[in-house]
Amino acid sequence: MKIRRISAAAAFVAVGAVVLAACSNAPGNTTPSASGTSGATAGTAIGGTIRVAETNAFTTFNPLTSSGNTDINNKVVEYPTRAWFNYVEGPTLKIVKDPSFGTYQVLSKDPLTVKYTVNKGVTWSDGVQVDASDLLLAWAVDSGHYNSPGADGKSGTKDDVNYFDYAGDTTTLGLTSFPEISADNMSMTLTYSKPAADWEIALQADEPAHVVAKHAGLADTQALDDLFKKLADTAPKATAPDPELKKVADFWNKGFDTTTLPSDPSLYLSSGPFVVSDIQENQSVTLIPNPKYTGDLKPHVSQIVMRTIPDATAAIQALQNGEVDVVAPQSTADTMTALKALSGIKVITGDQLAFDHIDLTFNNKGPFDPATYGGDAAKALKVRQAFLKTIPRQQILDAVVTPQNPNAKVLNSQIFVPAQAAYAPDVANNGSAAYASVDIPGAKQLLQEAGVTSPTVRIMYNVDNPNRLNAYTLIAESASKAGFKVVDDAQPKDKWGGILGDGSYDASIFGWVQPGVGVSGTPQLYKTNGGGNYNGYSNPQVDQLCDQLTVELDPAKQTQLQTQIDSLLFPDAYGLPLFQSPGVVAVSDKVGGMDQYNSTQSGVWWNTWEWTISQ
């Protein structure tokens, strides 16, 4: 359901072929055709337990933060435990409205004005009504309205006043003025200053406002609403954080983080079909039907257990032994052979909306940061270019992807993939040709021109992911030939996501999982201070193009703008895309509701209310 931002892909599911055609087209819009019954088949009983093996460990009930924005947190929290105005139908990438939660209506196209109304009787799992206070909290977070450049008036500097650690892009809701709240507190109306390409997927009720208010020391949600209203005009000009709003943001940023079931039930409330009932640290998360849920997407199973099984071989063995019913392991030739040998198992393949990449850090006073060289941007650029010339992308592809897909090719765009019509013309002109093959002499020459000898590069990656380990090993070996001193800064699977953006490393190897709709993912990653811009990249021309993209409604012009952005990333030596690979899901024949491959970040979790299992 959550569709506003790209998720950092973790461990095995972090790789995959990206099919982003829907990202450059206006999304479809439908309503549910049935009240959560499409998963049921003849002879299938209602009830039972479905056990799903996932690679990564659960870490937070707020996957909207920069540290919590990993695939598994999104899967467990957002799809089963949140009810929203709409969601993305996995296989088709269409936006589906859920009128049982509420409605949204365009009151005016000029200026764009949208009214959101939550149905009465829609509650959190503690019985508290979901209302406009929850929407206002989401707007405050997702719009970035209360952030300020600080005393120097410049964004991206040390004195910035920032509150919410939101991982998504704030540009779309940043076009709106302070919302209008209805007298009954059930509706919220947003007015945009400009057209907004992603307006339909920009706002949902994410976290319970009454819980945030309580833990921030406020009397109730009215007090929180009043605080937002009081600071609506002054906060964007603030030179120091407001202490009350800082308490609100501090709790929102970290208060929902946990690897065990909190003793305080308010920290894991649900508004959706399921609610979490148990967490075994680094082992499992159990969900059961939410007794307070009154919507149309009602569950058909009595329990879902997400089991953390990092090793693909162990996951497949667990499926064979009947210990789990669903696995989504890394797709390799060996994995496919093992899965196809199993009986009573459906093997479903497809392209993931994901890609692996290596990013260079621009703002940590490391080898790629101009500040290291007294602000000499040209010298830092040469060092970045030199390092990228050592990246053995073909070797990495051959080690990871080619064994199962001999026709696979190195990815040469940060935005498009070969399945899109824009890919070929984009690659022909985006500057990726400069890194088509390893060039050790060229790298040495650039370091010599920069006057830099034996620069140290700390590379951070998930050590529990064999794809990332393979990539790191090959990169380290190659870069050392050009004179780079490469330091292994590998992190365990439950730590690497929280380290992204902290400046402790000089390069990072990980993956992005696309949401499948909208264009806000581009500014999220590449705009200055974007929610997913973990490497401190900043280019005023890219920022300007991202701003144009946010308000562009024509799909063809959106593609043109994204092409221009991609053509600036390679000359800036931002980093390099590495590869795509097919995805695979293996499902027991007893399980219903998982018959089609879902390429989005939600994986099989996009329709948990349709899941069934034969008894």
State residue 516's pLDDT score: 72
In percent, how much of the chain has pLDDT > 90?
A: 73
Using DSSP's 3-state secondary structure scheme, residue 326 falls into strand
Q: At 613, which helix (H) or strand (E)?
A: strand 612-613
Per-residue pLDDT, averaged over 468-488, amounts to 97
> Which is the CATH superfamily of the domain at 354-579?
Dipeptide-binding Protein; Domain 3 (3.10.105.10)
The answer to which of 5-19, 119-133, 336-350, 557-571 has the lowest mean pLDDT is 5-19
Indicate the SS3 state at residue 212: helix
Determine the pLDDT at residue 14. Answer: 24
Residue 21: closest CA among 401, 414, 518, 355: 518
Sign for the pseudo-dihedral over CA of 596, 599, 603, 608: negative
* 83-205+208-254: in CATH 3.30.420.40: no
The topology (CATH level 3) of 270-352+586-613 is D-Maltodextrin-Binding Protein; domain 2 (3.40.190)
The pLDDT tens digits of the residues spanning 411-459 come to: 999 998 787 789 999 999 999 999 999 999 999 999 999 999 999 999 9
When pLDDT is averaged across residues 15-36 and rounded to a whole number, the result is 31
- Entry field: residues in the chain: 615
Check whether 334 has a pLDDT greater than 90: no
Under the banding of pLDDT at 50, 70 and 90, the label for residue 341 is very high
Conformation bin of residue 375: beta by default, left when phi > 0, alpha when psi is -120 to 50:
left
Q: Name the band, by pLDDT with cuts 50, 70 and 90, for residue 157.
A: confident
Give the mean pLDDT of 326-337.
Answer: 85
Residue 131 structure tokens = 């209302």
What does the pLDDT read at residue 496?
87
The model's pLDDT over 513-572, given as tens digits with 9 standing for 90+, comes to 777 788 988 999 999 988 889 999 999 999 999 999 999 999 999 999 999 999 999 999
CB 562, CB 549: distance < 8 Å: yes
- ∠ CA 570-536-437, nearest 5°, is 25
The band of 330, judged by pLDDT with boundaries at 50, 70 and 90, is confident
Using CA atoms, how far residue 114 sits from 170, 200, 271, 449, in Å, is 17, 9, 22, 55
Angle ∠(576,582,588) on CA atoms, nearest 5: 145
If pLDDT is split at 50, 70 and 90, which confidence band does 150 have? Answer: confident
Mean pLDDT of the chain: 89
Domain limits of the chain?
A: 83-205+208-254, 270-352+586-613, 354-579
Across the range 398-418, mean pLDDT stands at 87
For residue 26, pLDDT over 60 is answered with no
Q: Note the pLDDT of residue 8.
A: 54
> Quick one: how far is CA 363 from the chain centroid?
22
CA nearest neighbour of 187 among 109, 127, 122: 122
Of the given ranges (124-128, 402-406, 414-418, 586-590), which has the lowest mean pLDDT?
402-406
What's the pLDDT at 327?
A: 97
Interval 285-313 mean pLDDT? 96
The per-residue pLDDT for range 213-263, each reduced to its tens digit, is 999 999 999 999 999 999 999 988 899 999 999 999 999 999 999 999 999
